[in-house]
Structure formats: structure tokens, C-alpha cells
Amino acid sequence: MRPRPDKRKQHPKVVTYFRPIGSDGWRVEMNQGARIVRRLSVDTKAEAIAAAKQLLNEWPGSAFELCVLGRVYAWWDDGWHYSRKERDDSMAALLYDEMGVLMLEVKTGDGIHYDRDATCED
């Protein structure tokens, strides 16, 4: 009997940093699907950015996400997925990286739209 092929999706690792609700510090996480691979707690945003970049260097090919509007659970083929609660709370959430590039647009009732090449204008 031949072994069955593994049909489970192998999700890429996603590095996020965010300020937990009710916390004075910052959290840096590396997720793979819904699983947290690594979690670090730091005091400042600058430390969070440095820790996120360090994790990216350790895992080439990881997707980078500046997570300021909510928590990214996983990167799937059709885009970034947020938790149900955060999606319900956002009418139109725009997420930009440090260079002003639009990373994510979430609209309630519209599903998720991801545009890697859009830019932010002041």
C-alpha cells in the first residue's frame, strides 16, 4: 500500500509585533498558521522592531508584518487573516509598514484585500 500524500498546508512563518491590549510593553511573535513558534516580550517599540528583524534574519523567507491594528494569525494563499473579533470591529482598517507601503486593507463585509504594491500618500 502506498503512503498517502500529506495534504496539510505548510504555512510560512509570519513575524508580527504589536502592543497587547492593557499592556505597557510590546510583544513580538513568530507564527506558523495558528501556532506560535516564538514569542518575545520587550519594553519599547524600537526593541520590538529590532527583535522582529532579528527573527526575520533567523528565518529567511518569513513574511514580515507591522501589526498595529490587530493580530495576524496566519498568511494564507488569499491574504492575511485576522481573528473574527478584530475583523468585526473594523469597518475599514488600513495597515502600513514603516516605509508607508500599504500592507493590508480589511473592510467589514468585503472580506480581505491585500495589495503589496499600494503606497500611502500624506
pLDDT per residue over 85-119, tens digit each? 344 443 344 555 555 555 555 554 444 444 444 33
What single letter denotes the amino acid at residue 92?
A: A
Write out the three cell numbers for 43: 519594553
Class at the top of the CATH hierarchy for domain 13-113: alpha beta
- Determine phi and psi for 99, rounding to 5 degrees: -95, 5
Encode pLDDT of 28-57 as tens digits.
888 776 678 889 999 987 888 788 778 777
- Rounded CA-CA distance 35/50 in Å is 22
**pTM of this prediction?**
0.47
The residue to which cell 498517502 is assigned: 4
Instruction: Report the alpha-carbon distance of residue 93 to residue 110 in Å, rounded.
Output: 12
